[in-house]
Chain A
Amino acid sequence: MAELSTPTPSASAPAAAPAEPGPEPRPRRRLDGEWLRRYGVYVALGLLVAINLVITPNFLTVSNLRLQLVQVSPVLIVALGMAMVIGTGGIDLSVGAVIALSATLIPLYIGYGPLVAILVALAVGVATGALAGTVVARVGVQPIVATLALLVGLRGVANLAGDRIRPIRDPFLRGLGTGTLLGVPYVVVAAVVATVVVWFVLGRTTTGRQLVAVGGNLRAAALAGLPVKRVLTSVYVASGLLAAVAGVLLAARLQAVNSASLGQLAELSAITAVVVGGTPLTGGQVRVLGTVAGALLLQLLSSTLIAQGQSDAVTQLVQAVIVVAAVYVQFGSRRTR
């Protein structure tokens, strides 16, 4: 009953209060929850780097930085896809299982040559993404349900396909996993390329602009004639593809695949990086750089704690605190509006 727009009886009658008082453009101070949500991740990352410079010996060495970046790259690649899905107001829980399945296929198809094996792995990522997207966009199943089913199902398929730990002995893949381009590991190059591509898609392409519109207000987007179903399907395809890329890179780096453990909980790391990076879970906005910073923050945090001799349990607890803080900042800033 917020609207009281019944007609006033006549011009001479005492006028009802105007339905919407207030100044035209509302100027607003930005040093509030909104600011924290947008830039908090950079502040936290800066602080963590500063602390490491003081307490961690050999922090600022090429080998350490390279290690950190190599470790964060697959997570970041998955998180970029997740950020697009979350931008539409959805979620993709299947990425960890997609990593496992795509990586598992590599030793099985390596006999046809590394390129065929990689293409098969990527195609599976696209196919599972298309399946998730179709179920969400056309059947109308909630994203969390649709992708949860895939999380369980695809992991099962991966375990069936590769029922034990399989080594990969292929020079091309070894080169991909361990080689460098001008001193930068290929794995990191892949993450940088993925970041630039996602940034371009979101900022410059029709589909990217439509993606945030669909996430911001699905009904309005549909009434404006946007191809809502196509947009929704395509973000899950992108997420599946990026997860498969991460799977290929992990297989190449580890030179062995364990279908039961690879990519385990990757969906949670990715969601954490996205949320910590300032992308609201409600959709309508995607922060690509924030996602990069979020992934870096989580990586640096766990490596710092491990370097300080803390157990995995402590690391997980600290991550939990960060997630809670990020979500609190999101919803806190929304409520003050």
Chain B
Amino acid sequence: MPQSPVVDPVVRPVAEPVVEVAGLTKSFGGVHALRGVDLTLLPGRIHALVGENGAGKSTLIKVLTGVHTADAGTLRLGGEPIAFTRPADAQAAGISTVYQEVNLVPLLSVAQNVFLGREPRRFGLVDTGAVRRRARELVARLGIDVDVDAQLGRLGLGVQQMVALARAVSVDARVVIMDEPTSSLEPREVETLFGVARTLAASGVAIVFVSHRLGELFALCDDVTVLRDGRTVHAGPMAELDRVGLVSRMLGRAVEDVQRRGATEFGESHARGGAGVQPVLEVSGVSVRNRLHDVSFSVRPGEVVGLGGLLGSGRSETVKAVYGDLPTTAAAVSVEGRPVRTGSVSKALAAGLALLSEDRKAEGIIPDLSVRDNIALAVLPRLSRAGVVSDARIDAVVEVFVRRLQIKASSPRQKVRELSGGNQQKVLLARWLATEPKVFLLDEPTRGIDVGAKREVQSLIDELAAQGLAVVLISSEMEELVEGSDRVVVLRDGHVGAELDGDGLTTSALLSALAGGGQPVGEPPVGNPPAAEVASRG
């Protein structure tokens, strides 16, 4: 059996692989989602599948579960070549999936959910006794403590997730794919779920585990496959990697990378207020249920503060919570010393906050409106008199920003849908700048735009900071974060994990901060890292 070249030769399969994927490719309309992925799953092992946004994890899972058909490459199940054309094929072959969101019927009982659609029958009718008996056996075998007659919707999310797992197992699964099962669970529930997963693996099932929480990966998984840009870039036992090694493979860079290499358009440093200047934005103790825990930071006028973190670390949640778009369990946000009521976007806007959302299409542009109407959107009331808009005043504002940001459109009346991604992004920047913000929260401002527009956006950020605007910059690109920011606050699993500035702000320092301070392998805390981990702050 030819092994994939990236697999460490030390790994000797103790048993025949259940699943072997080799050279899988898949593209959607010219965009390559998978460009040659290898994956080997062994029975009785828990396999971590990791990668950042766009690495190809979801596409790979969808191929494995029969949702998509691969363009090229082979898929072997128990040594036999196999191709799924629909999800039912994969299920019949013994591949089950537990998704992030529980896909069950809340009004039915646990037992009914486990056997939904495959109820044991007697005389053509559902054998309710058998349903309950077999559900009870299954639940007991997995060590789940739940009453099978309880209505599912009344149980906690963690228990529901375990019922989903029991359902996945009840079809005699050989492979169970757990796609971010822990993202909305409490730490205690995560522990229990892990116990069930281990029991399941011990019975010989191969488990694929997807999570953004590094601690969980190290705590649970035996093997790991790292995807990047649609390729398998690493495969091997989990124990051979430490956190930094894993993260550097996910992000695709060597640990010894140097600082400030000039890969971006950012200047050396911004006009900085100095430590004595009063911060414009003060954020303290922002918590969002299961997502953010006591996040605090501040931004001075003219300062660009980067928010770093891996996918799922809570970067976007932080700015959304500050902007009032995400309900918080605790929060204190103030702008220029005045407290801002959180949980209200309009209050945040009025206080001088602006948020450029990461998802341009879903949360940014209004596709069928013109460039002009998109720019004027947030300031319409200000450009109106007695509820009647003044087109002359709108045109004046729009003209200023179209010229300043060099928005390329055939006319301000062109629909924003017809513009390129870079110009759409500039339209959105214009929308927020028109509100004359004091603090600009930028979530991935250069994602998905062409190189030229990217440079322009980067120099604009510099320019705005030079004029005294306080900027919070989120970016998945390490150069952008290191070169664009005066200071970087690093988030890990919803906590502030580190803060880097001055000479300490290098890509390698950032890398180890992202990974969790170069912790030794194998003993990271599950779920929430203790407060002691919050190191090197200030």
Contact = CB atoms under 8 A, between A and B. Distances in A.
A21 to B, nearest CB: 7
Nearest to A28: B418
Nearest to A3: B54
A21 B348 CA distance: 36
B420 A22 contact: yes
Contacts of A220: 357, 362-366, 377
A10 B349 contact: no
A57 interface: no
Interface residues of A, number: 44
A259 to B, nearest CB: 37
Contacts of B350: 225
A223 interface: yes
B31 to A, nearest CB: 6
B448 A19 contact: yes
Interface stretch (B78-86, B129-137, B407-415): B407-415
Interface stretch (A207-215, A288-296, A304-312, A314-322): A207-215
B449 interface: yes
B477 A4 contact: no
B420 A23 contact: yes
A176 interface: no
Interface size range of chain B in the complex? 35 or more
A177 B417 CA distance: 46
A26 interface: yes
Interface in A222-274: 222-227
Contacts of A27: 410
A213 B366 contact: yes
B303 interface: no
A225 B431 CA distance: 12
Nearest to B253: A9
Interface stretch (B155-163, B384-392, B463-471, B516-524): B384-392
B421 interface: yes
A223 B420 contact: no
Nearest to A207: B387
Given A4-B31, A25-B410, A213 B377 contact: yes
Contacts of B56: 1
A20 B422 contact: yes
Nearest to B252: A9
Contacts, number: 157
Contacts of B262: 11
Interface stretch (B11-19, B96-104, B367-375): B367-375
B147 to A, nearest CB: 32
Contacts of A226: 377-378
A1 B59 contact: yes
A325 to B, nearest CB: 22
A6 B53 contact: yes
Interface in B240-262: 251-253, 257, 261-262
A284 B369 contact: yes
A24 B419 contact: yes
Contacts of A10: 253, 257, 261, 263
Contacts of A210: 380
A212 B263 contact: no
Given A4-B230, A6-B53, A217-B366, A206 B381 contact: yes
B345 interface: yes
A216 B374 CA distance: 11
Nearest to B421: A20
Given A6-B252, A213-B377, A225-B349, A11 B261 contact: yes
A2 B478 CA distance: 21
B269 interface: no
B451 interface: yes
Nearest to B348: A225
B366 A284 contact: yes
Nearest to A11: B263
A25 B414 contact: yes
B476 interface: yes
Interface string B301-337: 0000000000000000000000101000000000000
A16 interface: yes
Nearest to A21: B450
30 contacts: A1-B28, A2-B31, A4-B31, A4-B33, A4-B54, A4-B230, A5-B448, A6-B53, A16-B229, A20-B422, A24-B423, A25-B409, A25-B414, A25-B420, A205-B384, A205-B389, A209-B389, A210-B380, A216-B369, A220-B364, A223-B345, A223-B355, A223-B363, A224-B431, A225-B345, A225-B346, A225-B348, A225-B349, A225-B350, A284-B367
Given A11-B261, A217-B363, A337-B417, 12 more contacts: A1-B58, A2-B28, A6-B53, A6-B229, A24-B419, A24-B423, A25-B410, A205-B387, A206-B387, A206-B389, A216-B366, A222-B345
